Amino acid sequence: MHLTLEFGGGLELLLEKSIKMHKVDVQPIDGQEKVMMKGLLSWVKSNLIKERPEMFLKGDSVRPGVLVLINDCDWELCGGLDAELEEKDVVVFISTLHGVL
Confirm or reject binding of residue 28 to another protein (CB under 8 A): no
In angstroms, rounded to a whole number, what is the distance separating the alpha carbons of residues 57 and 10?
Answer: 14
Nearest approach, Cβ of 15 to another protein (angstroms)? 14
Strand residues in 1-101 grouped as ranges (E): 2-8, 21-25, 57-58, 61-62, 66-70, 73-74, 90-95
Which listed residue (54, 79, 82, 88) binds another protein by CB under 8 A?
54
Which residue, 10 or 28, is less far from another protein as judged by CB? 10
The answer to whether 19 contacts another protein (rule: CB under 8 A) is: no
Strands 90-95 and 66-70: antiparallel
Which residue ranges make up the site for another protein (CB under 8 A)?
Answer: 8-10, 20, 51-52, 54-55, 58, 63-67, 69, 72-74, 76-77, 92, 94-101
